[in-house]
Structure 1
């Protein structure tokens, strides 16, 4: 197979003009003939570069508002012709088709058009046709043709040409072809996903997802697994868009846990400073406070053992006082909307701590798709954005909860939504005091959370477990009364749960006998 192929003619048609002029000048300096279209040719000519309009090549003017300009045999023949095939060469000579050695195309900004909320017609007009067609043609013929779809590859191409006396190697062309096919696939994914939403097609016959490489990772969940991190282009505030101020690069588990922590803190009431501490994707401490430092201390006191080496998410600007308290123990990552210079200076002494700032909190009510791979396919669902207010609660026991209990119930319910099922959350005065996550039975989760509270009472020198006088949230209904009774034995006074069990009546009766207040939400929050 042919290795080095010199570049003599280039067709350039780009929407993103960043770096275009410098790049084109470098090509021209190496004797490359430039062919271009529409706005690109205008920009090149204005910069004093000699450029040939694609209409001169095809013999047809651009028409239909630019919809038809490159869909022509003179273009596609120049891209697709096999230079080592005699029949192809004869056809080229017979029809006056000249070879195109380099295609530089980036597509109409469809994704950006959708992101800014443009009308249906505007989105349709920003679906590129000629660009993807040329990219696919050039990529198929990478034996002879080089294709560039991202401005970030301009430098690499020029370096390749410089190293090979104006030519490119087969290895380089193959890599660029793979990048190009991935780009057109992502583009088609964006269009099909948008169109499914536009016509309210909740389960389209075919579904695809795409991403852009943000970071190659040292390994995955375990050292024997390779991994990489991709962004989806939504720019949702979080770990994918955050600025990292210090520390080594994030690992696979860091990214996963940081996302879990930040999504939970964003789901809490933003009127109060809040802190979330996560370990292995589950919160081990969540609290609000009058200050961010107080919120951190209260979250830390839920489970100090698990908090070691954890991920901390804050809903307000990280200040010096809070940073100083966090710096007292080893923490992997701290993520917040912003951080003061004082906080950054304090963390600067902690070389292994990563500080991330996002500029904003994500919208906890924003609808989006979530997907998970299974053998032979993947599951797709809406992100869990379910919200419960006081008006949604149904009191089912003889005793109604107090205002303080109701406030803690709603707080506990928010936390339960972000804990692996089966989830049991004890909360007292706006802070978790026991978290039971991921157990095979709800009774086990209730007991685990209570035991953690007992352990922390000993650490803190308290006379009784912190669950005494707390409320309990369960992410799904209690199938039997045993879990509820275990919570009562731990000192809980009120329960919030979805309800809906065949044995609701038994559970309600047990709550009444124990003197508990209980409310049903009518909504569950399984998280697997």
Structure 2
């Protein structure tokens, strides 16, 4: 047992034995077990109201605070613990002669530990309770005891959450009391809780008056450190949760990094919304906080099977989750190299086997079969990151970000993209009758994808998958050109000459992917061509510009979605070159009539969604 230091005249005690505990909790999880342990150590239990009843029902002996103070509860319970025998017992400095004398003269005994939760004010507000009921759920005695105990942490221990109970028991068991280091940590957390609680009340009260909140306090609890931030020199770095909240993921395997978690959050939200909007299993492939690809489970054609290196027989047996990820990964397999994957449904063995052969950093999904989890945990020498999304996680309606000393806040972009957005305002010739169900599906897929793409952005979709994503360009037509080039590459990967490339045995999968793309692009340096040709049994004949143009004439049925309006018709002119038949955009530009006419000129069907989807 550790040595117990004597506290004299205000000095700090290393280890303080626990002889009397004050307990008053609204969250009663684990309280009986903790108090049973304390009672086994001959700790006297003081309690109030429902907590006292809970302990007595469990067979424990406890003293009502009103009996201890000699003052009955009054004012409908508003005054229970606001008494010198309570706060004097918490605030008295051990070893201070004057404090000891005052306590003796006034019959004040020492209270060594306070275990409390505050009234559930925020939960009451969240339920839409009446103003008066919310006021009654403002805790007065709890924060007072909390602050008194935390202030005197040199001698008293404040415990504010069930997740601290095991540490309390373990520390007492090992040291014979609570340690100063633990009391300091618990006091810091208690003051953070108090600040957060008061901030919530102040914010709610001000909003009830119809005014802007004068101050916002957000309290964070560190969850785990990160190796570094965006770059190796950005240290320290870590992940925190809001106090009294949880992280949206559980880490099942691996050690996620800063960018991994940004990718995971955005990728998960994308597939979650795709699933809800289409009713189909969805997947996404993320790189640097933008999707390289996203898709829903739509069967593959035989030509697509050949382009994606899967036999038609194997493709027919794929589960919806596996099919969705196969499509997402093959939207732009060069950019998806080293991606972060997300799947909307439980990850099964089929999906895990596809991921196993790809170069990927990690995955987030709502769950995993035991077989799939074992496959994924063995990937990358056991370092593959596996996150399980919590289905019941509900983020705050307002999000905050701190940049260079400024704190930005905004309502979350929680707009739900649905079929109605695509059908309520079809502005081109043919109207709604010109939109097929497949086209509507692709409009939804493309629009949800650009919602989670760094702005400015446009995305092209076909057959339930993204086939070109253009992210983060200052000019919208540049976004279209960037994404359009990807669409062209996606189409040309299905050209007979590309499908007929004869690679040497042993050429790796990603090298085959890259070689096909370079064959399509064709702009080799002399040195590069030598290395490229060495991968083939027979050096391929070039894919000529004329052959590309002829093949691209077959392109049709592609959807383009833009996160903001098209300011000029040039974007539509360029989109016509890659087979676009359907356009989804917010509208709202003075050039809307010109853009609409341009769509009519090319026979495209355009819907104004009336929802801008910038994402930064």
TM tier, smaller:
0.7 to 0.9
Deviation at 1:266, TM superposition (A): 1.7
Range 79-88 or range 173-182, more displaced:
79-88
Q: Is the 8 A contact 2:470 2:482 kept in 1?
A: yes
CA distance in 2, matches of 1:412, 1:63: 62
1:333 aligns with 2:362: yes
1:347 aligns with 2:376: yes
* Correspondences of 1:301-312 after superposition (within 5 Å): 301-312=330-341
Q: Which residue of 1 aligns with 2:534?
A: none
Matched, 1:272 2:280: yes
Cα distance change, pair 361–406 in 1 and its aligned pair in 2 (3 A): farther
Structure 1 residue runs of 5 or longer lacking an equivalent are none
Indicate the RMSD between aligned Cα atoms, in angstroms: 3.3
Q: Does 1:490 align with 2:600?
A: no
- Paired position in structure 2 for 1:38: 49
Does structure 2 conserve the Cα–Cα contact (< 8 Å) formed by 1:273 and 1:289? yes
SS of residue in 1 equivalent to 2:271: helix
Q: Which has the larger radius of gyration?
A: 2
2:347 match: 318
Judge conservation of contact 1:426–1:467 (CA < 8 Å) in 2: no
1:106 corresponds in structure 2 to 117
Q: For residue 449 of structure 1, what is the aligned residue in structure 2?
A: 483
How many angstroms does 1:403 deviate by?
1.8
C-alpha change, 1:443 and 1:153, in structure 2 (3 Å) is same
Q: Which stretch shifts more, 144-153 or 278-287?
A: 144-153
Shift of residue 369, structure 1, vs aligned partner: 1.6
Equivalences, count:
520
Q: Give the alignment of 1:506-525 within 5 angstroms.
A: 506-525=594-613
Relative distance call for 1:89 and 1:375 in structure 2 (3 A) is same
* Distance change >3 Å, CA 14–CA 469, structure 1 → 2: closer
Aligned ranges 1:69-108 → 2 under 5 Å: 69-83=80-94, 85-108=96-119
Shift in Å, 1:212:
4.3
- Pick the aligned partner of 1:171 from 174, 181, 184: 181
Greater per-residue helix proportion: 2
Change (3 A) 1:44 1:500: closer
| Aligned partner (choices 236, 247, 257) of residue 251 of structure 1 | 257
Distance 1:115 1:286 in 2: 35
State the 1:211 CA deviation.
4.4
Q: Shift in Å at residue 357 of structure 1? A: 3.9
1:107-158 Cα offsets, whole Å, 9 max, x none, are: 3344555666766666554443211110011111223322222233334334
Say if 1:61 and 1:472 are closer, same or farther in 2 by CA, change over 3 A. Answer: same
Q: Give the direction of change, closer, same or farther, for the CA distance of 1:37–1:280 in structure 2 (3 Å limit).
A: same
Change in CA separation of 1:202 and 1:384 when aligned onto 2, cut-off 3 Å: farther
Mapped partners of 1:336, 1:228: distance in 2: 22
- Cα distance in 2, alignment partners of residues 360 and 124 from structure 1: 32
CA distance in 1, matches of 2:172, 2:374: 45
How far apart are residue 416 of structure 1 and its match?
1.8
Instruction: State the distance in 2 between where 1:172 and 1:192 align.
Output: 30
CA 1:174–1:390: 2 relative to 1, 3 Å: closer
Which residue, 421, 435, 446 being the options, matches 1:403?
Answer: 435
- CA distance in 1 between partners of 2:324 and 2:176 (Å): 63
Q: Compute the displacement of 1:504 (Å).
A: 3.0
Cα 1:33/1:319, change in 2 over 3 Å: closer
Contact 2:219 2:243 in 1 (8 A): no
Counterpart of 1:59?
70
**In structure 2, C-alpha distance between the alignment counterparts of 1:390 and 1:43, rounded to whole Å:** 53
Matched, 1:474 2:562: yes
**Match for 2:402 among 373, 379, 385?**
373
Label 1:519 to 1:27 Cα distance change in 2 as closer, same or farther (>3 A). Answer: closer
Q: After TM superposition, give the deviation of residue 457 of structure 1 in Å.
A: 4.1
TM-score (norm 1): 0.86
Post-superposition CA distance 1:6-26 (Å, at most 9, x none): 444332223344443443344
Deviations 1:404-463 (A, max 9, x none): 344433332222222111011111122111000111211221111122233344545376
Q: CA deviation at 1:75?
A: 1.1
- Do the aligned partners of residues 169 and 273 (structure 1) sit closer, same or farther apart at CA in structure 2, a change above 3 Å counting? closer
TM (norm. structure 2) is 0.75
- Identify the residue that residue 394 of structure 1 maps to in structure 2: 425
Tell me if the contact between 1:367 and 1:385 (Cα under 8 Å) persists in the aligned partners: no
Residue 236 of structure 2 corresponds to residue 226 of structure 1: yes
Aligned counterparts of 1:362 and 1:163: Cα–Cα separation in 2: 36
Q: Which runs of 5+ in 2 are unaligned?
A: 1-10, 299-319, 500-547
Instruction: Please report how far the alpha carbon of residue 219 of structure 1 lies from its aligned counterpart in structure 2 after TM superposition.
Output: 3.1
Distance 1:184 1:362, change over 3 A: closer
Paired residue secondary structure (1:394): coil
Distance 1:341 1:94 in 2: 66
Cα distance, 1:176 vs structure 2: 1.7
- CA spacing shift, 1:82–1:292, aligned 2, 3 Å: closer
Alignment of 1:432-443 (within 5 A): 432-443=466-477
8 A contact 2:422–2:443 mirrored in 1: no
Give the direction of change, closer, same or farther, for the CA distance of 1:521–1:20 in structure 2 (3 Å limit).
closer
The superposition leaves residues 362-401 of structure 1 with CA deviations (integer Å, 9 ceiling, x where unpaired) of 79xx982222223444222221123351576433444657
Distance 2:211 2:296 in 1: 37
The residue number in structure 2 matching 1:263 is 269
Distance in structure 2 (CA, Å) of the matches to 1:337 and 1:370: 23
Supply the distance in 1 between the matched residues of 2:203 and 2:456 (Cα, whole angstroms).
33
1:306 is paired with a residue of what secondary structure?
coil
2:139 aligned partner:
128
